[in-house]
Structure 1
Amino acid sequence: MTAAATEQQDLFEAVYGDALFRVPTQRLAEAHASAGGTTYLCELTWPAPGLGGILGACHSLDVPLLFGSYDSPGGRAMFGEGEPTAETLAVADRFRTAWTTFASTGAPGWPAYRSGERCTHTFSAAPPTTAPYAHESSRRIWDGHELAPFDLLEAS
């Protein structure tokens, strides 16, 4: 693949990811926090190591990390055959700890999302961080644009 084609693919994935996941999630968090709800936002940026890493931080990667189902059909595609790596287990442990802490206490272990601050916890190979929303410029691009649900049945 040429550099231009790779750049176009990366741009497509960024826009599609925004429209399908990031922007609706951000808007829901904003609405919930604005209405007085306690909201926690996180993003899994750790790329799945299976298939040479081609899947990146793909949709549903969180499921085998949370449940430890590395040997399921989906898990094998995301993590490869054999035992999970130490890095995989470390990310999974941090992810699972946040979920179980939230389930038992109502707070996952990082500051709540607040309008204006937009604190987002990031799970990656490095120690997790909590910082203002990392895709702020992209979020502003989508302001004022309505996102309609994708018609998955429409012929392309």
Structure 2
Amino acid sequence: MGRAHPYELCRPSPVLGGALGASHAVDVPLLFGTFDSPAGRLLLGEGEPSAEALRLTEEIRGSWAAFARHGDPGWPLHGPDRRATRLLDAEVCTAPCPEEWSRRIWHGHAFDPFDLT
């Protein structure tokens, strides 16, 4: 990965007793505040959003807006010498990339682009 401002949603979805974990796309209804949409209900559950979900919505929206306005979401760049990642959970923080071990698995492997024709 080059220079970027990655984030990782760590807060697990409350549906199915938390079985989904912090799965792909759970951040979408948080970003758009679409808690009552079909996707919002599927990923975040029925009823009023929790105070924690509302805090994460404000955090995500604020950082996306700041990035769109100024190119800086409010945490350091992730680059070769510093792998800063914003961790979105009950306590939001910036920390070294929590998936560093996974990134290293792919180090040195080159992949050709998909031929979709």
TM range (shorter): 0.7 to 0.9
1:138, distance to aligned residue in structure 2 (A): 2.2
SS in 2 for 1:131: strand
Change (3 A) 1:132 1:71: same
Q: 2:85 — aligned with what?
A: 120
Q: Which runs of 5+ in 2 are unaligned?
A: none
Work out whether 1:142 is the aligned partner of 2:106: yes
Q: 2:95 — aligned with what?
A: 131
Change (3 A) 1:89 1:149: farther
Greater relative CO (CA pairs within 8 A, separation 6+): 2
Structure index of larger Rg: 1
Aligned partner (choices 33, 36, 54) of residue 19 of structure 2: 54
1:110, distance to aligned residue in structure 2 (A): 0.7
Pairwise CA RMSD: 1.9
Structure 1 contact 51–77 (Cα < 8 Å) conserved: no
In structure 1, C-alpha distance between the alignment counterparts of 2:79 and 2:113, rounded to whole Å:
26
Q: Superposed, which structure 2 residues align to 1:41-80 within 5 Å?
A: 41-80=6-45
How many residue pairs are counted as aligned between the two chains? 114
Structure 2 contact 14–45 (Cα < 8 Å) conserved: yes
In structure 1, C-alpha distance between the alignment counterparts of 2:64 and 2:39, rounded to whole Å:
21
Work out the percentage of aligned pairs sharing the same amino acid: 49
SS in 1 for 2:82: coil
Q: 1:21 — aligned with what?
A: none
In structure 1, C-alpha distance between the alignment counterparts of 2:94 and 2:25, rounded to whole Å:
22
Structure 1: which 4+ aligned runs deviate by more than 6 Å?
none
In structure 2, C-alpha distance between the alignment counterparts of 1:147 and 1:49, rounded to whole Å:
36
Q: Which runs of 5+ in 1 are unaligned?
A: 1-26, 34-38, 151-156
* TM-score normalised by structure 1 residue count: 0.66
Name whichever structure is richer in helix by fraction: 1
